[in-house]
Amino acid sequence: MTCLPSSTRPDGPLPFDWPVIEAIVGQLNAPDPAWPDKISRIAVPALIIAGGPASPIPQDWLSQVAALIPDCVLTTIPVGHRIHQNSPAEFLAAVRNFLQRPDEP
């Protein structure tokens, strides 16, 4: 996987916790080597909602993760990173559709 570039903290007050950003970027750039095995053991249905090309998250990463989870649905709503904020109706529809899937026999 391609590494995310390290970010420089923007000036001024932020509406989020900057150390969290640094920690997430650090984990993505130097992940636990066992993560593919661990994630493939997820034993419940999972939903990943991707934001498409405008998202700062590499979309190929999300595809790779979804492929490792046995019962994973990957849905793309091409509105960027804040999907729930930028397209709440589509976000809710994706979540509802996932939750209303029929149970497997």
Q: How many separate domains does the chain show?
A: 2
Q: What is the mean pLDDT of each run of 10 residues along the chain (105 residues)?
A: 66 87 84 92 96 91 95 97 95 97 72
Q: What's the pLDDT score for residue 92? A: 98
Burial of 102 (0-12, 13-18, 19+ CB in 10 A): exposed
The reply to whether 47 and 81 lie within a common domain is yes
What pLDDT shows up at residue 2? Answer: 46
Q: Assess whether 20 and 46 both reside in one domain.
A: no
Residues 24 and 41 in one domain: no
Predicted pLDDT of residue 16? 83
pTM of the model as a whole: 0.78
Are 25 and 41 found together in one domain? Answer: no
What is the pLDDT at residue 91?
A: 98
What was the pLDDT predicted at 23? 87
